[in-house]
Amino acid sequence: MSVSRLEAIREAAQRLADRYRLGRDVFPRGRPEPVTDRVAPRWEATLYDLLSAYARQRQKQFNARVELPQRQVWSLVEAREALERLVGQVSDWIVLDSYLASYISQPAMRATVRASTLSATLEMVREGRLAIRQDRPFAPLWVRTASATPVGAEAGAIRDCAWASSL
């Protein structure tokens, strides 16, 4: 054998050795998946079966009860009574929120206490028993007894009453 032929055989052997090998570099997919026939299910039911299934579902819905928790609400009467006590105690301006702090025992009661108190306050201003003021929109609402209003002052005037929108 000549050297060039020996080199050619070595090169061919090296190329064969460098090829991807099954099981080491390349892995077979496995067996081909079988072809399955899709068979559409055939439902068999009588009218009685359908009506009894419908009746069972309706019975489940009929027996289900939903109970919502009762929401606590501060009524206008309670707000009016609290403001009546305020009328007898305060002659100078007081922030209404600071007075209401003792009535807001739970965070859920905050909105209902403010709304009821605002309605009761507006009624008492209309009756001439309270005077209210608010320095700017969304500022605290100040309240005092109307009899303590100096002559010439705006008794019962409501300016920019945006307090209710902060509920």
Q: Does residue 58 belong to any structural domain of this protein? A: no
What residues contact residue 93 under an 8 Å CB cut-off, 6+ apart? 133, 142, 143, 144
The count of other CB atoms within 10 Å of the CB of residue 119 is 14
Query: Are 143 and 118 contacting, i.e. CB atoms less than 8 angstroms apart?
Result: no
What residues contact residue 46 under an 8 Å CB cut-off, 6+ apart? none
Structural domain boundaries, residue 128? 76-166
Backbone φ and ψ for 105, nearest 5 degrees, come out as: -85, -25
Q: Rounded to an integer, what distance in angstroms lies between the CA atom of residue 75 and that of residue 100?
A: 14
Query: 109, exposed or middle or buried, with CB in 10 Å at 0-12, 13-18, 19+?
Result: middle
Q: Does residue 52 belong to any structural domain of this protein? A: no
Q: Does residue 56 belong to any structural domain of this protein? A: no
Report how many domains make up the chain. 1
**Per-residue pLDDT for 8 more than 80?**
yes
Q: Does residue 87 belong to any structural domain of this protein? A: yes
Q: Does residue 55 belong to any structural domain of this protein? A: no
Q: Residue 153's pLDDT is what? A: 45
pLDDT grade, residue 47 (50/70/90)?
very high
Q: What is the pTM of this model?
A: 0.48
Q: Does residue 35 belong to any structural domain of this protein? A: no
**Per-residue pLDDT for 166 more than 60?**
no
**Per-residue pLDDT for 165 more than 50?**
no
Q: Does residue 139 belong to any structural domain of this protein? A: yes
Q: Does residue 156 belong to any structural domain of this protein? A: yes
Q: In terms of Cα–Cα distance, which of 112, 131, 113 is closest to 122? A: 131
The pLDDT of 154-161, averaged and rounded, is 42
